[in-house]
Chain A
Amino acid sequence: ETGVTQSPTHLIKTRGQQVTLRCSSQSGHNTVSWYQQALGQGPQFIFQYYREEENGRGNFPPRFSGLQFPNYSSELNVNALELDDSALYLCASTTPGESYEQYFGPGTRLTVT
């Protein structure tokens, strides 16, 4: 276990709806990254939060947004869901320092119908 938790474990939504996914990072980690992983692919970077500010973003549209809270937990919000948003969503918290080691949560499996 990495100490990173995510909720919910699974989620089914309808196209056009909105969804919020949650992540609690490992104690002492002030950086959280979110990834989208399609079946059979490697994770794709969505964005990263450092001390409650967005600190880097991948090639995802603005309907993907996030928040980080003072306790360093985080949310990923996706609006106007599309079928292609169906994926495993991973969050990872990062150790301070140069190694930048990431610890991944178990993921949330989102299915859009």
Chain B
Amino acid sequence: KNQVEQSPQSLIILEGKNCTLQCNYTVSPFSNLRWYKQDTGRGPVSLTIMTFSENTKSNGRYTATLDADTKQSSLHITASQLSDSASYICVVFAGSARQLTFGSGTQLTVLP
């Protein structure tokens, strides 16, 4: 069964600090992995998409890594801001099956 597991479930950090969110997946076949940011009550917004051959991808203060051998990904947020408070969802796309498998998300709270 295709699964995406994220940790931690929730995280509280102080403004200006860095943090790293984890994603482990068992999805086959693998096509790409996405990280989305979802503000409360809103739709998810894409941060990065990484294919099998990409190890690192950055989008401003967000840096995603992918280890396709161990089936692990991480999202690193640098110099956090209050506006980073949101749920961060890891999603794996099984290309040939045209299916997306979603993680349950990590709820990040940034405090002043």
B91 to chain A, nearest CB (A): 8
A55 to chain B, nearest CB (A): 8
Task: Scan residues 87-112 of chain B and give those whose CB is less than 8 A from a CB of chain A.
Answer: 89, 93, 95, 98-100, 102-105, 107
Query: Is the pair A99, B49 in contact by a Cβ cutoff of 8 Å?
Result: yes
Query: Is the pair A4, B43 in contact by a Cβ cutoff of 8 Å?
Result: yes
Residue B46 interfacial (CB < 8 Å): yes
Q: How many residues of B contact A (CB 8 A)?
A: 23
The binding surface of chain B is classed by DSSP as strand
Across the interface, which residues of A come within 8 angstroms of B95, CB to CB?
Answer: 98, 100
**A100-B93 contact in complex given A106-B42, A107-B41, C-beta closer than 8 Å:** yes
Query: Is the pair A56, B43 in contact by a Cβ cutoff of 8 Å?
Result: no
Residue ID in chain A nearest B4 by CB atoms: A42
**Once the chains are docked, how many angstroms separate the CA of A43 from the CA of B99?**
13
B29 to chain A, nearest CB (A): 13
Interface residues of B (CB under 8 A from A): 4, 31-32, 34, 36, 41-46, 49, 89, 93, 95, 98-100, 102-105, 107
Contact partner of A43 (CB less than 8 A), chosen from B44, B49, B93, is: B44
B93 to chain A, nearest CB (A): 6
In addition to A42-B104, A100-B31, A107-B41, 9 A-B residue pairs with Cβ atoms within 8 Å of each other are: A33-B100, A43-B89, A48-B98, A56-B98, A92-B43, A98-B95, A104-B43, A104-B44, A106-B43
Across the interface, which residues of B come within 8 angstroms of A33, CB to CB?
Answer: 100
Residue ID in chain A nearest B103 by CB atoms: A42
Interface residues of A (CB under 8 A from B): 2, 4, 33, 40-45, 48, 55-56, 88, 90, 92, 98-107, 109
B69 to chain A, nearest CB (A): 22
Across the interface, which residues of A come within 8 angstroms of B32, CB to CB?
Answer: 99-100
Contact partner of A105 (CB less than 8 A), chosen from B41, B43, B105, is: B43
